[in-house]
Amino acid sequence: MNRHGSTQTRYDMLILPGDYSETSASGPSFTFEDVNTTFDMRYTRDTIGPGANLHIVARVGRYEPNNGRLFPLEPVETSFR
């Protein structure tokens, strides 16, 4: 989770499948780009950060092979699990 440019309330987030682990990840990588953590993510809890395990419903954007194999997502609904 990094700030989007010089903004204070917009973020770019790397999303990995499975449960949080500091040592392994499997499957494709996804990204939310230029999102606000409350309105755009559509969840009711007031904090999110590294290691949060989420259930995400999203629209998958077009795969861009020059994007480091990241699949862009558009959030529809997010809940903590």
The string of pLDDT tens digits covering residues 24-66 is 888 788 888 899 877 887 775 656 777 778 888 889 877 767 7
pLDDT, one tens digit per residue, over 63-79 is 767 766 788 888 888 88
CB-based burial label for 3 (10 Å; 0-12, 13-18, 19+)? exposed
Q: What is the mean pLDDT of residues 5-21?
A: 88
The CA distance from 81 to 65, in Å, is: 31
